[in-house]
């Protein structure tokens, strides 16, 4: 079991991650065989390359029908080269990202980041580690690293994200200032990744748990979180299962995330739907107008069209922006309309109380069919009525 002694410095020293095979061998040395699968042949022919054995950049000179390496200082020929030796290979950062994901045991693809050839997105951290966006990137210098961090920060609008980088050689006070401004966290690959005698990456469990600790996530086997596909990931007592979304699950998630806290039913309803609880107490005034609802529906249609276009173009920034806008528009529509699109009035408190209790009961029944132990736990310790709360007899930490 060895550290990757040459890979990480190489990724921070080869411009554009493009070089000929001999140059890659020169840099990677004993790590070459391990990551050879990440080197993708291009149609480019090198005109200059570096070789550590010569201590200076070498240029490619044509003489007769052959190509030779020549000193950039004296111009003297060093040796003959084959045309095939001069084909440039590009280091595939996404392919390496997939290998790192497999070593960490995390699902998800490695996705290209528009505008960056030296970074890729590795989806999101597992729920158990906080669920934050995670990236892998290699930067040639401090300026490049700051540029990568700034671009990623702009994509997520100040949300916390994790970025794997090869080493800390390029980090300094300037990089730290950019990170603090962007809510980014760095973790270095040379601290956690190793490889086996067979050339496979691996990472120790303690390294994985340290990522969760970095984000203040307490180790827990209890998970109750909605995922990107719309359904829920639920784990309890060592058993994990997907649960199809019903609205009651959203109420339960809030209660589990705040054990011992009392929620008035209208306040809990407001947390889930966005309907201001003030609108449920008092007169029977309408909450919106037909014209306002039509404008929301029209913008929703346009936003869905733009989302589909962005997905076809793999435009991750636009995808995230449109998804966020759609969520906000749908929430605004739910605030103002009920079943059948009828505009809500401000006298629905009694109906709301019954609806929340019914939705929570439906969700618990759905969970019980898959995990009786968890269903019984929720049924026993979630108080339902005018005031809702989760009060277990012993401490149960949930990731929600």
Cβ contact 148:119 at 8 Å: yes
Q: How far apart are CA 108 and CA 78, in angstroms?
A: 47
Instruction: Please compute the mean of the pLDDT values over residues 115-133 and round it to a whole number.
Output: 77
Q: Residues 60, 188: one domain?
A: no
Write down the pLDDT at residue 210.
72
**72 pLDDT exceeds 60?**
yes
**86 pLDDT exceeds 70?**
yes
Q: Residues 13, 102: one domain?
A: no
* Residue where a domain terminates, one of 163, 193, 214: 214
The CATH code of the domain that includes 224 is 1.10.10
Q: Residues 224, 117: one domain?
A: no
**337 pLDDT exceeds 60?**
yes
Q: Which of 203, 190, 146 is nearest to 164 (CA)?
A: 190
Lowest-pLDDT choice from 246-260, 281-295, 381-395 = 281-295
Q: Residues 110, 134: one domain?
A: yes
> Which of the pair, 52 or 29, is modelled with greater confidence?
29
Q: How far apart are CA 276 and CA 279, in angstroms?
A: 6
Q: Residues 187, 258: one domain?
A: no
- Residue 337 carries which DSSP code? B
Cβ contact 344:355 at 8 Å: no
Instruction: Please compute the mean of the pLDDT values over residues 119-144 and round it to a whole number.
Output: 80
Tell me what percent of the residues of the chain surpass a pLDDT of 90. Answer: 1
Dmax over CA atoms of the chain, in Å, equals: 94
> Which of the pair, 365 or 349, is modelled with greater confidence?
365
Lowest-pLDDT choice from 161-175, 262-276, 341-355 = 341-355
pLDDT band of residue 369 (cuts 50, 70, 90) is confident
Instruction: Please compute the mean of the pLDDT values over residues 28-51 and round it to a whole number.
Output: 83
Write down the pLDDT at residue 282.
46
* DSSP assignments along 327-378, one per residue: HHHHHHHHHHB-GGGPBPBS--HHHHHHHHHHHHHHHHHHHHHH-HHHHHHH
- State the burial class of residue 1 (Cβ atoms within 10 Å of its Cβ: 0-12, 13-18, 19+): exposed
Q: Residues 189, 280: one domain?
A: no
Lowest-pLDDT choice from 113-122, 254-263, 345-354 = 345-354
Instruction: Please compute the mean of the pLDDT values over residues 106-131 and round it to a whole number.
Output: 76
In whole angstroms, what separates CA 358 from the centre of its chain?
34
Write down the pLDDT at residue 267.
72
Write down the pLDDT at residue 157.
65
Cβ contact 138:240 at 8 Å: no
Cβ contact 5:35 at 8 Å: no
What is this structure's pTM?
A: 0.55
Cβ contact 187:211 at 8 Å: yes
Give pLDDT tens digits for 275-312.
Answer: 554 444 444 556 567 787 788 888 888 888 888 887 77
**51 pLDDT exceeds 70?**
no
* Residue where a domain terminates, one of 65, 91, 117: 91
Write down the pLDDT at residue 279.
46
- Mean pLDDT taken over the chain: 77
Tell me what percent of the residues of the chain surpass a pLDDT of 70. Answer: 78
Averaging pLDDT over each range in 59-68, 137-146, 256-265, which range is the top one? 137-146
Q: Residues 85, 156: one domain?
A: no
Secondary structure (3-state) at 77: strand
* Residue where a domain terminates, one of 91, 118, 151: 91
Give the domain range for residue 133.
93-214
pLDDT band of residue 1 (cuts 50, 70, 90) is low
Secondary structure (3-state) at 235: strand
Instruction: Please compute the mean of the pLDDT values over residues 173-195 and round it to a whole number.
Output: 82
Write down the pLDDT at residue 163.
86
Provide the b/e sequence for 188-213 (b: ≥16 CB within 10 Å).
ebbebbbbeeeeebebeeebbeebbe
Q: Residues 23, 139: one domain?
A: no
- Residue 342 carries which DSSP code? P
Instruction: Please compute the mean of the pLDDT values over residues 200-220 and round it to a whole number.
Output: 70
Lowest-pLDDT choice from 132-136, 220-224, 261-265, 356-360 = 220-224
Q: Residues 281, 291: one domain?
A: no
For the chain, the domain total comes to 4
Q: Residues 36, 55: one domain?
A: yes
**398 pLDDT exceeds 60?**
yes
Phi, psi of 48 (to 5 degrees): -150, 150
Q: Residues 228, 352: one domain?
A: yes
Q: Residues 41, 121: one domain?
A: no
């Amino acid at each position: 079991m060895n550290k990757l002694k040459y890979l990480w410095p190489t990724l921070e020293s080869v411009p554009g991650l493009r070089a000929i095979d001999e140059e890659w061998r020169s840099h990677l040395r004993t790590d070459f065989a391990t990551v050879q699968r990440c080197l993708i042949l291009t149609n480019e022919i090198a005109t200059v390359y570096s070789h550590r054995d010569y201590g200076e950049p070498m240029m490619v000179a044509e003489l007769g029908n052959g190509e030779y390496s020549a000193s950039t200082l004296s111009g003297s020929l060093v040796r003959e080269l084959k045309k095939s030796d001069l084909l440039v290979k590009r280091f595939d950062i996404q392919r390496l990202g997939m290998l790192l994901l497999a070593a960490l045991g995390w699902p998800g693809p490695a996705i290209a980041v528009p505008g960056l050839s030296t970074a890729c997105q590795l989806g999101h951290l597992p729920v158990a580690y906080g669920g934050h966006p995670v990236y892998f990137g290699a930067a040639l210098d401090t300026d490049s690293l700051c540029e990568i961090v700034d671009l990623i920060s702009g994509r997520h609008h100040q949300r916390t994200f994790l970025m794997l980088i090869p080493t800390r050689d390029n980090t300094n006070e300037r990089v730290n200032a950019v990170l603090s401004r962007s809510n980014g966290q760095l973790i270095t690959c040379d601290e956690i990744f190793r490889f086996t005698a067979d050339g496979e990456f691996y990472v120790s469990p303690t390294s994985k748990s340290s990522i969760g600790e970095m984000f203040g996530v307490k180790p827990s086997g209890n998970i109750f979180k909605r995922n990107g596909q719309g359904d829920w990931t639920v784990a309890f007592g060592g058993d994990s299962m997907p649960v199809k979304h019903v609205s009651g699950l959203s109420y339960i998630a809030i209660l589990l995330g705040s054990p011992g806290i009392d929620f008035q039913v209208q306040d809990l309803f407001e947390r889930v739907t966005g309907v201001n609880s003030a609108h449920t107490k008092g007169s029977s005034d309408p909450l919106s107008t037909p014209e306002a609802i039509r404008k929301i529906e029209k913008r929703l249609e346009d936003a869905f069209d733009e989302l589909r276009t962005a997905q076809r173009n793999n435009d991750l920034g636009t995808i995230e922006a449109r998804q966020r806008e759609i969520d906000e528009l749908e929430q605004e529509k739910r605030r103002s309309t009920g079943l059948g699109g009828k505009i809500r009035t401000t006298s629905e408190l009694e109906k709301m109380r019954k609806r929340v209790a019914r939705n929570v009961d439906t969700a618990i029944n759905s969970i019980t069919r898959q995990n009786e132990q968890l269903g019984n736990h929720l049924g026993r310790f979630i108080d339902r009525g005018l005031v809702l709360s989760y009060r277990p007899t012993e401490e149960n930490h949930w990731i929600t």
